[in-house]
Amino acid sequence: MVYLQELVKQKGKNVLKKEQQAWITRLKGMPHKTPFMVTDLAIVHENAKVITEALPRVGIYYAIKSNSDERIIETIDPIVAGYDIASLGEYKHLKNLGVASERMLYSNPVKIPEHIQKTYEGGVRHFAFDSMDEISKLSTYAPGSEVYLRIKVSDYGSRFPLSKKFGVDPLHAVAYMDMAAEKGLKPTGLAFHVGSQSENPHSWAVAFETCGEIIKKLSAVGIDISFINIGGGFPASYTERINSLKQIADIINKSITKHIPDHVKIVAEPGRFISATSSVIVTSVIGRETRGSSDWLFIDMGVFQGLLEPLEIDSWRYPIFTNYGKKAAAFSKSFVLTGPTCDAYDTLGLDYELPSNLKMGDRLYIGSAGAYTKVYASNFNGFSPPKTYYLENQK
C-alpha cells in the first residue's frame, strides 16, 4: 500500500504514514460492496480524550454537525461535558440517544423561531445570538434564558472561515448585551469561532484578548460574564502540515490565564478534531478516460454522497491511498478524480497524484473522511451515501 498525496516526490522512501499503515491493517478483510465508510471508534475515543486532557480549564461540547453518528456520540459521551446543537433536528437526535437538555448549547447564532420554542420547552437554556432579531426571538420563545453573544474574531489562516456570516463587531458588544438584558434575557456569555480547520493558533490568543477587554467593559456597566464559548476550529490531519494540538492548547491555556478572570468558565465545541481522522471511505474505480490532456478517474463515491468540502475550497485534498505496491509511487500520475453522478461539479480534485496503472475495479481509500462528509450526503442521481461499518477496541 502506498500513501501518495504530498509524498509522491519521495520515491523509494517509506511513503506511508504511521496512521495509514495502521488503517491498511484494519481494512484487511473488509470486502464489502463499495462505497463504504469505516469508523474506528477507538480513534474517536482517543481524540476526545486528547482534547479534554490538553485543555483542562475547558469544558468540551462535541459539535455533532461534523458527524452525528450514534456510535460516535455513545463512544465519547462519558468523556465530553455535552454537545453543540445547530437545530431542533440535532436536539431531537441527542434526546433520542438519552442526552439531557442541560448538556446542550444552542450555538447557531440565527435560529428558526419554532426550533427555539421547542428546544426551550425541552429544557435547553443556553442560546447564542448576534443580532437584534435574535434577541427579539429569544425573548419571545426562550424567555429568561442565558444568552451568549457571538463576536467577530479573526479567522485568518482557517480553511473554512466563518466570520463573514456570523459575529458582531466587538465594539458593539456592550450595546448588544445591554439590549438582551433589557428584553429579560440573561446576557452571561461570549462566543467566538476562529474558523474551521484553523492553521493559525494565534487566532485564539487574539480572540481571548478581545474577550478580556469586553469582559472589563461589561463589568463596568454591571454585566457579569460567567462563560466563554470558543467554538471549534481545532485542525485535523489531512494532507498538509498542521500545528499539533499541544501547540494550540499551550497558546489557549496561556491566553486564558492571561486575559480571562478565574471565575469565567470556558467551553469549546470541537467537531472536526474529534471526528475527521476516525474514518476512511473505501471506494472503487468505475472508469478511466483521457479527456483532452487530462486523465479522468471515475470512482463510485463523490461530492454529493458527502465529499462536499472540495466544492467549498478548490485546493481541499483528502489523503488518498491505494492497495498498489510501494513502488507504485515511482509510476504515479496526476488524475482528475471525479464522482459517479452526471454533474461535472461532482469532482474531488483536478490533480490527485495516484498510481499510473490504476484501473477499473481498483480500490481507493479516502482518509480523514469522518468530518463533514456523511452529514452532507444526499441521494442525488440515485446514488446512496456510503454505509458505515465500525471498528472498536483496536488500540
**Backbone phi, then psi, for 347, in 5-degree steps?**
-130, 130
Cβ closest to ligand PLP, residue 128 vs residue 337:
128
Residue keyed to cell 474506528: 40
Residue with smaller CB distance to ligand PLP, 227 or 352: 227
The values of phi and psi at residue 387, to 5°, are -75, 150
The answer to whether 5 touches 317, Cβ cutoff 8 Å, is yes
Name 128's Cβ contacts closer than 8 Å, sequence gap at least 6: 105, 106, 107, 108, 109, 147, 148, 149, 150, 191, 229
Smallest separation (angstroms) from ligand PLP to the CB of 270: 4
Q: Which helix (H) or strand (E) holds 75?
A: helix 70-76
Say how far residue 23 (Cα) sits from the centre of its chain: 21
Q: 3-class DSSP state for residue 42?
A: helix
What residue is closest to ligand PLP based on CB? 232
CB of 81 to ligand PLP, least distance (A): 14
The contact set with ligand PLP (CB under 6 A) reads: 63, 66, 84, 107, 193, 196, 231-234, 269-273
**Nearest alpha-carbon partner for 343 in 290, 312, 382:** 382
State in angstroms the smallest separation of the CB of 62 from ligand PLP.
9
342 is catalytic: yes
In the chain, the amino acid numbered 318 is Y
CA dihedral 357, 359, 365, 366 (to 10 degrees): 90
> Cis (ω within 30 of 0) for the bond into 355?
no
- As a whole number of angstroms, the distance between CA 191 and CA 174 comes to 14
Q: How far apart are the first and last CA of the chain?
A: 21
Residues 56, 220, 293, 342: which is the catalytic one?
Answer: 342
- Nearest residue to 196 (alpha-carbon basis) of 165, 158, 166: 158
Rank residues 85 and 320 by Cβ distance to ligand PLP and give the closer one: 85
Q: Which amino acid is at 250?
A: D
Closest separation between CB of residue 362 and ligand PLP, Å?
Answer: 32
CB of 229 to ligand PLP, least distance (A): 8
Pick 66 or 338: Cβ nearer ligand PLP: 66
CB of 52 to ligand PLP, least distance (A): 14
Closer to ligand PLP by CB, 264 or 267: give it.
267
Q: Which is nearer to ligand PLP, 109 or 319 (CB)?
A: 109
Smaller CB separation from ligand PLP, 270 or 319? 270
Nearest one of 346, 77, 317 to 197, comparing CA atoms: 317
CA distance 317 to 381: 24
Output the smallest distance, CB 176 to ligand PLP, in A. Answer: 17
d(CA 58, CA 317): 31
Active-site annotation, residues: 342
